Amino acid sequence: MSTTRPAPRSTSRTPRSPRTVEAALGAPVLGSRIADAMSGVWAVVQSVVLSSLLVLLLTVVAMLGAPGTGAVPWGVATRTAGGVWLLGHGVPVTVGDAAVTIVPLGVAALAAFCTYVCAKRATAPVASGVLAGTVLYAVTTTAVAAAGGLRGGALLTAAVGGAVVGGVGLGVGVLAQPDAPRVAEVVEATFGWVPPVARLGVRAGALATALLLGAAAVVTTLWVLAGRATAGDVLAGLAPGWIGGVVLGVAQLALLPNLVLWALAWLAGPGFAVGEGTSFTVRGVVDGPLPAFPLLGALPGPSWSGGASLAAPALVVLCGVVAGGFAWRRLEPTLVRWSDVAWVAGATAVTAGAVVALLQRWAGGAVGMGRLAEIGAQPLAVGAVVAAEVLVGVGAVLAVAHSGVLTRRGGKRGRG
């Protein structure tokens, strides 16, 4: 018997409009299936062209603003833009002798947003359209990587990165359509074999992760405000001009999501590094020489360590508390067992930890073989700590709530 609280049912039975073409016509015919698949393909074609052209435009502007540049070398500009576009999908690129593996998450977000917009307008709200578009996106990133001379594991990375970015953009775009299936229906159809309490834990874990990202964004804003004088000095020293200033601003926006994820690692406790031998944690700061990049002026200084900062991991626990309250309100208290509490708490912690670890893996990397070969946080360490801290919060809420129900039940039996 399910322990999750069922959704309220309407007493009136009104006929619902078909939510897909297949539902209206019955079993889909071959032509309909092909049209559905081609709708996803067409959306991906549009999104890839749009995102790559935007990256190419910014690359050309950057080359125009470079000192001593006359005519734009279009071959070089195209190769550079292709490398930046691939880097946004997690594919390492080589600049001279330097290997760049850090993913500018702003580029990934741009590509996913373009896919979302195109999918919302053009893709049929059925699985075949999303699947065909995701496959084409993965094939496209792999082909671009192969055309750039990449081989072996880099091609596999390109395929995985393309599938993730394209799949997320297509999925969210399709679900945003007014006639698309509801998220709950898709989850039920896809993961119906998973116990309901585990599915509830995954939803609570997604909520905890979203709250963590929000808290990290607030911390990042405070860092940027505190370091605006340092960033201004760096910008004045660079004197990039208006074209260079635009390019520099776009480059900082591309890496701003990375800084947010580093702030999440700082909140959790393990912290992050920006250069070999550096460390930015709530316990202390070990810094070193950094590139002349204004955004790095927002990195936390020694004044951000010790004292009240040591309580920062409590925010992660608090996110777990909120997730625990969310989960408990969707359980049926009279049917809940301790095993159900364990399922929900465990799934919540594992979901939050796994998602954070994956995001940290994308947010860090290397820029060359020198000091900047180590940038970002340790994904597994941060994911494990986040999972443990979220588990404390969600476990405490569920345990206290369930114990209260058992106590009241026992009291009623005693009086009886």
As a whole number, mean pLDDT of residues 153-158 equals 91
- What is the number of residues in the chain? 416
The answer to whether 258 and 363 have CB atoms below 8 angstroms apart is yes
- Residue 22, domain member (yes or no): no
Same domain, 177 and 234: no
pLDDT for the residue 30: 57
Which of 202-211, 230-239, 303-312, 331-340 has maximum average pLDDT? 202-211
As a whole number, mean pLDDT of residues 256-268 equals 95
- Residue 116, domain member (yes or no): yes
Same domain, 171 and 285: no
pLDDT for the residue 316: 96
Same domain, 180 and 213: no
Gap between the Cα atoms of 316 and 318, Å rounded: 5
Which carries the bigger pLDDT value, residue 149 or residue 389? 389
- Residue 56, domain member (yes or no): yes
pLDDT for the residue 275: 85
pLDDT tens-digit series, residues 164-218? 999 999 999 998 888 877 776 777 777 778 888 999 999 999 999 999 999 999 9
- Residue 100, domain member (yes or no): yes
Q: Which two tokens stand for residue 235?
A: 């910008």
As a whole number, mean pLDDT of residues 394-408 equals 86
- Residue 274, domain member (yes or no): yes
**What is the number of other CB atoms lying within 10 angstroms of the CB of residue 257?**
23
Using a 10 angstrom Cβ sphere, with 0-12 exposed, 13-18 middle and 19 or more buried, the burial of residue 395 is: buried
- Residue 8, domain member (yes or no): no
How many structural domains does the chain have? 2
User: Backbone dihedral region of 71: left (phi > 0), alpha (psi from -120 to 50 degrees) or beta?
Assistant: beta
- Residue 145, domain member (yes or no): yes
For 298-330, the three-class secondary structure string (H helix, E strand, C coil) is HCCCHHHCCHHHHHCHHHHHHHHHHHHHHHHCC
84-112 burial string, b = 16+ CB within 10 Å, else e? bbbbbbbbbbeeeeeebbbbbbbbbbbbb
Same domain, 208 and 181: no
Same domain, 292 and 385: yes
Same domain, 142 and 259: no
Q: Is the pLDDT of residue 382 over 90?
A: yes
As a whole number, mean pLDDT of residues 60-64 equals 74
Same domain, 176 and 316: no
Q: Is the pLDDT of residue 2 over 60?
A: no
**pTM, to two decimals:** 0.85
Same domain, 217 and 277: yes
CA nearest to 238, candidates 292, 296, 290: 292
Q: Which two tokens stand for residue 290?
A: 């950094």
Gap between the Cα atoms of 316 and 280, Å rounded: 18
Same domain, 290 and 409: yes
pLDDT for the residue 153: 87
The answer to whether 112 and 58 have CB atoms below 8 angstroms apart is no
Tell me which of 133, 164, 192 is where a domain ends: 192
pLDDT tens-digit series, residues 268-281? 999 999 988 889 99
Same domain, 156 and 222: no
Same domain, 186 and 212: no
SS3 68: coil
- Residue 228, domain member (yes or no): yes
Which carries the bigger pLDDT value, residue 187 or residue 33? 33
pLDDT for the residue 18: 46
Element (H, E) at 95: strand 93-95
Q: By residue range, what is the domain housing residue 183?
A: 27-192
Tell me which of 157, 192, 227 is where a domain ends: 192
Q: Is the pLDDT of residue 17 over 50?
A: no
Element (H, E) at 286: strand 285-286
Q: Is the pLDDT of residue 92 over 70?
A: yes
Tell me the sheet residues that pair with 331: 4
Distance of CA 78 to the CA centre of its chain: 28
Same domain, 106 and 85: yes
Tell me which of 161, 192, 223 is where a domain ends: 192
Tell me the sheet residues that pair with 94: 99
